[in-house]
A and B are shown apart, each in its own frame.
Chain A
Amino acid sequence: MLIAENLSLFFGVRPVLRGVSLGVRRGEWVVVLGANGAGKTTLLRVIATLLRPAGGRLELNGVDALTHPARVRAQLGMVSHQPLIYPDLTASENLRFFGRLYGLSGAQLEQRVEHALREVGLWTRRHDRARAFSRGMTQRLSIARAMLHNPDLLLLDEPFTGLDQHSATTLAAMLRDLVAQGRAVLMTTHELGRGLDGVTRALLLKGGRIEAELREHITPEALTALLD
């Protein structure tokens, strides 16, 4: 589904990504580990087409992300450090707005908004402004936004940061459901202790390079050992 080959990126003269290659298939949940400054967020932003790599190849479902970025964007959703949610709009207004940007309209849009809000448990709070939401609720709304257009690939940047245990457990269960539905998840994290049940593969990013990979027995202990 996702093919990234030899991606490189520089901030000024400083290399941030140095020949990163990775692939993600349908039904996979890949986690990218790494210390602060390893290039995890930058890698996700390149894959999301928010940053243009200096070199390399990037494809999603056979579509070249460098020549047809808009077509790739239609097939991916992203949950970032920041919620990417308008605080002065209600939960449903936020989703309706983003749905329209993705070409949804009419009954289909309303159906998707309702479904997404029910999925993340915010249907009863749909008329509340996002400003009034807790961190966990905002994160759930952010996931609803990212999933509204049924993307094939979901990119998550440190999604568990700042969540309480209950919200983290709920989020992890949602991600497992998505993977079971055949979608792919590519996630960065440095929190190894929670929400990683169901991860199918772990990659270690260090100094802008993929340094190691873990394909089985993905336990917090194994991830800690990988990171060390």
Chain B
Amino acid sequence: MALLLAQIAALVRKDVLTELRARESITAMLAFSVMALVMFNFAFRLRVDDFRPLVPAVLWVTLIFAGTLGLSRTLSAEQVNQCLDALLLAPLDRSAIFVAKAMTNLLFMLLTATVVLPLMAILFGEALIQPGIVLVLISGVVGYAGAGTLIATMAISTRAREVFLPILLFPLVLPLLVASVIATAGFLDQLPFEDFGSWVGVQLAFIVLFWSAGVLLFEYLVES
């Protein structure tokens, strides 16, 4: 178990170090998020007086689209010099590669969220930085990182993976998007938790489902 954790830590560390050097995913995710929020803000100000009902949807659509930019790099970065083969040659449980990749994606998305959330709070003038919303955001991003990494793995062997990834991923994460938007709105509108708590449950179920599926299916997906 200690070896497995050390291998996962090595994989995550390598991905973070590579990203710090190349700055391909994070830069794209942050730039996209900021641009999207600014454009949403300008567009809404032309016709909308009350932003609040729109804010949860804007937050999640921005995060999901930005996350896709990072996801598409998840395994394609391993195709440079065919490094994926080197990972598959190592004597490690291949599900460790999935867990490490999903954790790296989670890390990058959380980093993006730490910029998106305060920026939205400023642009839209809403109290978004509160414990409930932060928890909903973390669980939503954990679920999205699991599902996204799994689908990105499936897309890796396709020729048009940049197109294939969102086409397959977005319909799949629709339940997560709905749950996250409703739960975020619940905390934003200070509704009783009983009114929207079941949607947090949907988020948690999504996490269990897709992280388990990734762990179980990753080896089969990379071999095929």
Contacts and interface: CB of A to CB of B under 8 A. Distances in A.
Interface of A: 48-52, 70-71, 73-74, 76-78, 80-89, 93, 97-98, 100-103, 105, 129, 145
Given A48-B89, A70-B92, A93 B81 contact: no
Q: Looking at chain B, what size class is its interface with the partner chain?
A: 20 to 34
B22 interface: yes
A77 B17 CA distance: 25
B190 interface: no
B3 interface: yes
B76 to A, nearest CB: 14
B93 interface: yes
Query: Main SS of chain B's interface residues?
Result: helix
Interface in B32-69: none
20 contacts: A50-B88, A51-B223, A70-B91, A70-B93, A71-B91, A76-B89, A78-B89, A80-B82, A80-B85, A84-B81, A84-B82, A87-B80, A88-B17, A97-B13, A100-B7, A101-B10, A101-B87, A101-B90, A101-B92, A103-B91
Contacts of B90: 73, 98, 101-102
Interface string B72-85: 00000000111101
Nearest to A84: B86
Given A80-B82, A84-B83, A84-B85, 10 more contacts: A71-B91, A85-B86, A86-B18, A86-B81, A89-B14, A89-B18, A100-B6, A101-B10, A101-B11, A103-B6
